[in-house]
């Protein structure tokens, strides 16, 4: 029994040992096949994971997807997830594109769906769905301190931000981006470098205090200020809007803008309250429109031109060198002032000021100098003296066209319905300012000196009128030669002043002195002199108007020396003078007639018998009249014809009466010399007298013959000879004086 008990105990031990051995073997095998236990979680971490994914959708449309290499869930201080190696997709509304965010570390709050990265963040906008890795030159935003709201996809930061896109790059401080609206906001210190679509394009730099980019509108809003710079073109402005097309800047709209386009040989400055800058597909400036207090300053080596107007339209031509100004249209109260820039010692042209409601300026090739200007409305042009001695000229016209030569100097000018005003400076010899010279005409052209820019020639036609003080003129056509101050009037020309008037086919008037020459069917009128002490009577009676006709007439020394040529005819009251040439010298109070002279005097009283006033006509090749002595001297074969009297002689002196004695004859007395022949006739007889000298006194009708053998042949009383014969026709009395060596001879005809 005891032995059996021992065996039983041994068996139990063996079994227990076998079981224990098997247990330990199995336990060792299990220990070797079971993975090691995970490391202990950090303090405060509730869970951790690798290759973490977060997804949120709206039906079948994805909204947000977050992937991270490592994730830790933390409850304190608030529940959030810590992520490393973050990639975030913020899907657009259509689900076809998303904005891709990369960050090395970020925190994600699942409660409010906000992802925040304090470190570097890179955001690529508008990645096409299906492209896990963004390709190409999509827009990228880089910064730190970025906050992303998963529900809306809104991205924001208040730190320095940089961005890149296919056409440029830039930066700012603080940014917001909303993928739903595709709006990008840059809060301050905005810089933008727009490179363009090809390396040949000139980049544009944009700066602003604030930027809002609305992709749906393809517009960039800048405020409260903005700066633009492209090559030589720069502009500063207030609030501005930039419109994009296919990634290129096509339009800039700016408020309170001031710009400058600067080249080595010219500078262009412009500005306006509202300004629109239009660019081509390569973002090259094509047109600039400024509205409200618009201004343009163009400075070249020769001149500085300033344009002020309500609106200015600048059109540019695009060249390999960039944009060059082609035209400038000023609309609304335009004022254009051009000041010449001269070198030392160079004569400065006048300053030009053009005013009109609409003025178009065209530039010469290269955009440096003005080619022409034209007004589309009525306007004025003023040439302001830029040095002593220059006149001030003012022109007003319905339309004007101005042509420029080299160095922005005036070359030509045309106007319609024009009025001009020229004011000359007072000289040392003048006691007062000279009166302005005024002109009017329907058409006008002007030529200017290409070297000095000063007026050279002025043509006006169709209803031309001129006035300078009391002197006036009219004609169909007028030409002013500025260097000589000569005005040439043609076609129905006429000029007049307080002293009289002249008309003719052509009149050349010296503007400064008043001297003139008239040609072709000349007709003149000299008005009576109303000055105290002016004499009357004679051939140059000052108190009666003098009329004149000739083929040519000249007047000098303010109408003091007057010459009529070619069938000249002058008349005053009953007196008349004809000759090939008549010269009147009013200072010397003389008159000279030459060639086929015919003078006519009308007695002031009527002849008692006929009740008519007697006319005295004298013909001669030459005559001189002295008004101080009232003496007319004829020579070269003279013939005097008077009622009942015909006198021939080599020379004749005729004294005329002053008209201060009413009722007296114009002819007072006359002396004839050289081969004198006198023929008298009345109703009953004829008388023929001859001598070397003869005198006739009108008042007592007395005739004196002497010199040589004086002879009187009377058809009734016969022939009488003597040293001197005196005949009184009033009482038919003849007195004869003989000489010792030559007794009186009388032959009496008996009936």
- Rounded mean pLDDT of the chain? 83
Phi, psi at residue 704, to the nearest 5°? -120, 125
- The alpha carbon of residue 51 and the mean position of all alpha carbons in its chain are separated, in whole angstroms, by 77
Task: Give a yes or no: residue 67 inside a domain.
Answer: yes
Mean pLDDT calculated for residue range 584-612: 81
How far apart, in Å, are the Cα atoms of 467 and each of 145, 188, 495, 549?
83, 67, 9, 24
Mean pLDDT calculated for residue range 611-620: 83
The whole-number pLDDT of residue 40 equals: 56
561-572 and 97-109 strand pairing: unpaired
Domain containing residue 733: CATH number: 2.60.450.10
Instruction: Return the closest-CA partner of residue 506 out of 543, 546, 564, 551.
Output: 551
- Residue at a domain's end among 113, 131, 159: 159
Task: Give a yes or no: residue 247 inside a domain.
Answer: no
Mean pLDDT calculated for residue range 179-192: 88
Instruction: Return the closest-CA partner of residue 257 out of 226, 231, 281, 284.
Output: 226
Q: pLDDT digit string (tens) for 26-53?
A: 665 555 555 555 555 555 555 778 888 8
The whole-number pLDDT of residue 274 equals: 95
Spatial neighbors of 574 by CB under 8 A, at least 6 apart, are 600, 601, 602, 603, 613, 615, 666
Spatial neighbors of 58 by CB under 8 A, at least 6 apart, are none
> Among 117-121, 222-226, 382-386, 533-537, which stretch is predicted with the lowest mean pLDDT?
533-537
Task: Give a yes or no: residue 573 inside a domain.
Answer: yes
Task: Give a yes or no: residue 645 inside a domain.
Answer: yes
Task: Give a yes or no: residue 310 inside a domain.
Answer: no
- What's the token pair of residue 402? 């101005």
The secondary structure element, H or E, covering residue 23 is helix 2-33
- Higher per-residue confidence, 171 vs 281: 171
The whole-number pLDDT of residue 258 equals: 94
- Cα dihedral sign, 322-324-326-332: positive
Mean pLDDT calculated for residue range 657-676: 74
Q: Given a cut of 50, is residue 55 above it in pLDDT?
A: yes
Q: Which residue has the tokens 């394009």?
A: 201
Secondary structure (DSSP) of 610-679: TTEEEEEEEEEEEEEEETTTTEEEEEEEEEEEETTEEEEEEEEEEEE--TTSTT--SEEEEEEEEEEEEE
Mean pLDDT calculated for residue range 324-331: 90
* 422 touches 437 (CB < 8 A): yes
Domain containing residue 70: CATH number: 2.60.450
The whole-number pLDDT of residue 131 equals: 64
The whole-number pLDDT of residue 748 equals: 47
Q: Given a cut of 90, is residue 611 above it in pLDDT?
A: no
The whole-number pLDDT of residue 240 equals: 95
Mean pLDDT calculated for residue range 228-240: 89
Task: Give a yes or no: residue 78 inside a domain.
Answer: yes
3-state secondary structure (DSSP) of residue 370: strand
Q: pLDDT digit string (tens) for 246-258?
A: 777 889 999 999 9
Instruction: Return the closest-CA partner of residue 204 out of 145, 306, 277, 271.
Output: 277
- Higher per-residue confidence, 181 vs 679: 679
pLDDT band at 19; cut points 50, 70, 90 = low
pTM: 0.73
299 C-beta neighbours (distance < 10 Å), count: 18
Task: Give a yes or no: residue 661 inside a domain.
Answer: yes
The whole-number pLDDT of residue 431 equals: 81
Q: pLDDT digit string (tens) for 688-733?
A: 999 999 999 988 889 999 988 899 998 888 899 889 999 887 788 8
- Residue at a domain's end among 159, 177, 209: 159
- What's the token pair of residue 712? 């009187």
Q: Given a cut of 80, is residue 12 above it in pLDDT?
A: no
- What's the token pair of residue 738? 């003989």
pLDDT band at 635; cut points 50, 70, 90 = very high
The secondary structure element, H or E, covering residue 33 is helix 2-33
- What's the token pair of residue 233? 């073109």
pLDDT band at 662; cut points 50, 70, 90 = very low
The whole-number pLDDT of residue 341 equals: 80
Alpha carbon dihedral 141, 189, 236, 231, in 10-degree steps, equals -50
pLDDT band at 415; cut points 50, 70, 90 = very high
- Please state, for a pLDDT cut of 90, what percent of the chain lies above it: 38
- What's the token pair of residue 183? 């709006």
Mean pLDDT calculated for residue range 299-315: 88
- Residue at a domain's end among 159, 186, 221: 159
Q: pLDDT digit string (tens) for 457-507?
A: 999 999 999 999 888 999 999 999 988 889 999 999 999 988 889 999 999
Instruction: Return the closest-CA partner of residue 295 out of 328, 263, 325, 318.
Output: 328
Q: Given a cut of 90, is residue 222 above it in pLDDT?
A: yes
pLDDT band at 340; cut points 50, 70, 90 = confident
Q: Given a cut of 60, is residue 509 above it in pLDDT?
A: yes
In terms of residue numbers, what domain contains 619? Answer: 543-747
- By the 10 Å C-beta count (0-12 exposed, 13-18 middle, 19+ buried), 303 is classed as buried
3-state secondary structure (DSSP) of residue 589: coil
**What value does the CA radius of gyration of the chain take, rounded to a whole number of Å?**
57
Mean pLDDT calculated for residue range 214-224: 91
Task: Give a yes or no: residue 428 inside a domain.
Answer: no
Provide the number of structural domains found in the chain.
Answer: 2
């Amino acid at each position: 029994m005891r032995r059996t008990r021992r065996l039983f105990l041994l068996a139990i031990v063996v079994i227990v040992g076998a079981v224990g051995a098997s247990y330990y073997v199995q336990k060792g095998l299990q220990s070797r096949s079971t993975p090691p236990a995970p490391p202990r979680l950090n303090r405060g971490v509730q869970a951790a994971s690798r290759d973490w994914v977060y997804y949120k959708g709206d039906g079948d449309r994805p909204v947000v997807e977050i992937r991270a290499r490592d994730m830790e869930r933390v409850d304190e201080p608030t529940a959030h997830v810590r992520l490393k190696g973050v990639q975030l997709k913020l899907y657009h509304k259509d689900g076809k594109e998303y904005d891709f965010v990369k960050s090395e570390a970020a925190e994600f709050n699942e409660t409010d769906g906000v992802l925040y990265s304090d470190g570097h963040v890179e955001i690529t906008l508008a990645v096409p769905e299906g492209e896990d890795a963004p390709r190409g030159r999509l827009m990228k935003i880089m910064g730190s301190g970025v906050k992303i709201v998963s529900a809306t996809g809104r991205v924001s930061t208040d730190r320095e931000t940089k961005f890149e896109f296919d056409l440029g790059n830039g930066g700012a401080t603080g940014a917001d981006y909303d993928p739903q609206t595709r709006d990008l906001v840059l809060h301050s210190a905005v810089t933008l470098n727009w490179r363009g679509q090809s390396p040949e394009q000139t980049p544009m730099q944009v700066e602003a205090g604030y930027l809002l980019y609305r992709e749906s509108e393809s517009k960039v809003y800048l405020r409260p200020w903005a700066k633009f710079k492209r090559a030589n073109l720069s502009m500063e402005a207030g609030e501005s809007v930039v419109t994009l097309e296919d990634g290129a800047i096509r339009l800039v709209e700016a408020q309170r803008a001031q710009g400058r386009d600067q080249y080595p040989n010219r500078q262009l400055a412009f500005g306006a309250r509202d300004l629109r800058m239009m660019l081509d597909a390569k973002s090259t400036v094509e047109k600039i429109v400024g509205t409200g207090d618009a201004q343009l300053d163009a400075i070249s080596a020769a001149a500085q031109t300033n344009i002020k107007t309500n609106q200015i339209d600048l059109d540019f031509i695009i060249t390999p060198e960039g944009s060059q100004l082609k035209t400038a249209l000023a609309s609304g109260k335009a004022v254009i002032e051009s000041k010449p820039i001269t070198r030392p010692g160079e004569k400065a042209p006048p300053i030009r000021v053009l005013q009109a409601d609409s003025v178009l300026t065209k530039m010469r090739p290269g955009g440096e100098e003005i080619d022409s200007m034209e007004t589309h409305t009525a306007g004025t042009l003023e040439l302001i003296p830029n040095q002593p001695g220059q006149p001030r000229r003012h022109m007003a016209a319905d339309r004007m066209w101005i042509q420029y030569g080299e160095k922005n100097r005036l070359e030509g000018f045309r106007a319609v319905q024009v009025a001009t005003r020229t004011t000359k400076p007072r000289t040392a010899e003048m006691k007062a300012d000279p009166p302005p010279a005024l002109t009017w005409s329907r058409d006008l052209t002007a030529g200017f000196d290409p070297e000095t820019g000063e007026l050279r020639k002025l043509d006006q036609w169709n209803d031309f009128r001129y006035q300078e003080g009391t002197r006036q003129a009219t004609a169909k056509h007028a030409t002013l030669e500025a260097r000589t101050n000569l005005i040439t009037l043609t076609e129905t020309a006429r000029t007049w002043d307080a002293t009289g008037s002249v008309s003719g086919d052509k009149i050349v008037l010296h503007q400064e002195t008043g001297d003139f020459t008239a040609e072709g069917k000349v007709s003149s009128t000299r008005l009576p002199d109303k000055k105290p002490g002016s004499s009357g009577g004679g051939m140059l009676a000052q108190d009666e108007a003098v009329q004149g006709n000739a083929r040519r007439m000249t007047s000098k020394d303010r109408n003091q020396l007057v010459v009529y040529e070619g069938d000249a005819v002058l008349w005053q009251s009953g007196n008349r003078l004809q000759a090939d040439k008549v010269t009147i010298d009013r200072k010397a109070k003389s008159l000279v007639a030459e060639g086929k002279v015919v003078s006519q005097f009308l007695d002031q009283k009527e002849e008692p018998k006929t009740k008519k006033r007697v006319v005295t006509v004298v013909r001669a090749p030459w005559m001189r009249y002295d008004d101080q002595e009232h003496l007319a001297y004829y020579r070269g074969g003279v013939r005097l014809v008077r009622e009942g009297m015909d006198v021939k002689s080599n020379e004749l002196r005729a004294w005329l009466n002053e008209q201060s004695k009413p009722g007296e004859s114009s002819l007072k007395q006359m002396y004839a010399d050289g081969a004198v022949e006198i023929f008298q006739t009345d109703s009953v007889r004829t008388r023929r007298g001859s001598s070397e000298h003869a005198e006739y006194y009108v008042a007592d009708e007395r005739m004196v013959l002497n010199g040589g053998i004086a002879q009187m042949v009377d058809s009734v009383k016969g022939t009488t000879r003597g040293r001197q014969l005196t005949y009184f026709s009033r009482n038919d009395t003849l007195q004869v004086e003989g000489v010792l060596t030559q007794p009186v001879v009388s032959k009496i005809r008996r009936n």
